[in-house]
């Protein structure tokens, strides 16, 4: 499986970035990509082809129940939000639902102050900001290795949401991550308006404050297009928190994306059965952490985050942006 992931990354062709303020997004085109057809979660929910609810009558915070009533497979991306039911949640891992399947999926709560029903079925939300996705990925990877569980560290997730709401000055009666995106909707809209989708791109590499941060790579350009606005919105929320007047993205020859990708070749790999169909692949290296959903011999979604290992012992929880980027206050 390691060879498959490394070969997938070697096929990456890096395009010219589209940038706005301190956020730059590099388009990635993957040669030889494309697999089987599937729906993404948002369109499946909108079309009424997928239903998501609490587990049982009382609910269970780290799980939701999904019914795929479509005649197609459905892709759920790590970090996607589901809103409603007893509290809003985000996906702990990327999942491919088989047609006609009914399964429990691992999630994390991003609305600490609510546990009462807002309807039986959950609706499409946003994609959580990458800083939370990275922290959650670290915890899920560790839980998989230690306990074969896709659980996150729920307390760390709540702390991250609280810190984000406080940092950007977003009011929320229930401690909801969704309220952070809602409060900054106009500003986020400026990012989505100015950062353009590149035709044929199947993924992106994200740079914030002139520092490489993460990558999201898919098996098809259609998938990236469908998720584009939600992805850019998620990157924008972190970028706005870290925005400084002296950090505006321009040409960045020092950003070595190929070396970032090839860090995966030196990483430790672990393979687990996905909650849906296919395999969940985890890799943890000196300068990166990542996961990939592999289904029918195709890499459906690969996410990578840049990490600074020298800080992991001292900063096991999510650190302030000034410490993450070495800004002296």
pLDDT tens-digit series, residues 143-155? 999 999 999 999 9
Residue 82 lies in a domain: no
Residue 97 lies in a domain: no
| Percentage of the chain modeled with pLDDT above 90 | 82
Q: How would residue 312 be classed by pLDDT, with cut points 50, 70 and 90?
A: very low
Residue 56 lies in a domain: no
What DSSP string describes 294-328?
A: EETTEEEEEEEEE--GGGTTT--SPPPHHHHTT--
Residue 79 lies in a domain: no
The pTM of this model reads 0.91
Tens-place pLDDT, residues 15-48: 999 999 999 999 999 876 667 899 999 999 999 9
Tens-place pLDDT, residues 225-269: 999 999 999 999 999 988 755 455 555 546 899 999 999 989 999
Residue 168 lies in a domain: yes
Residue 231 lies in a domain: yes
Specify the long-range contacts of residues 136-140, CB closer than 8 Å, at least 24 apart: 136/79, 136/90, 136/92, 136/108, 137/78, 137/289, 137/290, 137/291, 137/303, 137/305, 138/289, 140/92, 140/93, 140/106, 140/291
Domain carrying residue 144: 2-35+129-312
The CA distances from residue 1 to 5, 141, 151, 203, 222, in Å, are 6, 16, 23, 20, 25
- Phi first, then psi: give them for residue 58, nearest 5 degrees: -90, -20
Residue 8 lies in a domain: yes
Tens-place pLDDT, residues 46-93: 999 999 999 988 899 999 999 999 999 999 999 999 999 999 999 999
Residue where the block lists tokens 């992106």: 204
Res 318: pLDDT: 41
Average pLDDT, the chain: 90
Domain count, the chain: 1
- The one-character DSSP state at 176 is B
The answer to whether the beta carbons of residues 289 and 305 sit under 8 Å apart is: yes
Residue 124 lies in a domain: no
């Amino acid at each position: 499986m390691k060879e498959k992931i490394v070969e997938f990354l070697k096929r990456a062709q890096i395009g010219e970035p589209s940038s706005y303020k301190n956020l730059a997004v590099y388009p990635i085109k993957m040669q030889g990509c494309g697999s089987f057809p599937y729906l993404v979660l948002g369109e499946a929910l909108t079309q009424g082809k997928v239903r998501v609810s609490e587990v049982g009558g009382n609910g269970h915070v780290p799980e939701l129940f999904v019914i795929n009533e479509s005649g197609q497979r459905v892709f759920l991306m790590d970090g996607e939000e589901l809103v409603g039911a007893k509290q809003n949640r985000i996906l702990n891992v990327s999942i491919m639902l088989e047609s006609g399947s009914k399964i429990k999926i691992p999630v994390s709560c991003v609305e600490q102050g609510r546990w009462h029903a807002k309807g039986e079925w959950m609706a499409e939300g946003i994609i959580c900001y990458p800083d939370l996705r990275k922290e959650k990925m670290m915890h899920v990877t560790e839980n998989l290795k230690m306990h074969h569980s896709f659980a996150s560290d729920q307390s760390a997730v709540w702390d991250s949401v609280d810190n984000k709401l406080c940092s950007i000055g977003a009011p929320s009666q229930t401690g909801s991550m969704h309220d952070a995106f809602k409060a900054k909707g106009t500003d986020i809209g400026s990012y989505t308006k100015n950062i353009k989708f590149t035709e044929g791109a199947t993924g992106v590499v994200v740079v914030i404050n002139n520092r490489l941060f993460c990558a999201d790579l898919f098996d098809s350009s259609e998938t990236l297009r469908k998720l584009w606005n939600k992805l850019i919105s998620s990157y924008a929320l972190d970028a706005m928190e870290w925005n400084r007047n002296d950090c505006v993205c321009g040409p960045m020859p020092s950003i070595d994306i190929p070396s970032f990708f090839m860090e995966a070749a030196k990483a430790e790999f672990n393979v687990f059965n996905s909650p849906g169909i296919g395999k969940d692949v985890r890799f943890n290296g000196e300068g990166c952490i990542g996961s990939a959903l592999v289904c029918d011999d195709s890499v459906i979604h690969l996410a990578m985050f840049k990490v600074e290992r020298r800080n992991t012992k001292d900063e096991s929880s999510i650190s302030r942006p000034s410490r993450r980027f070495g800004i002296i206050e």
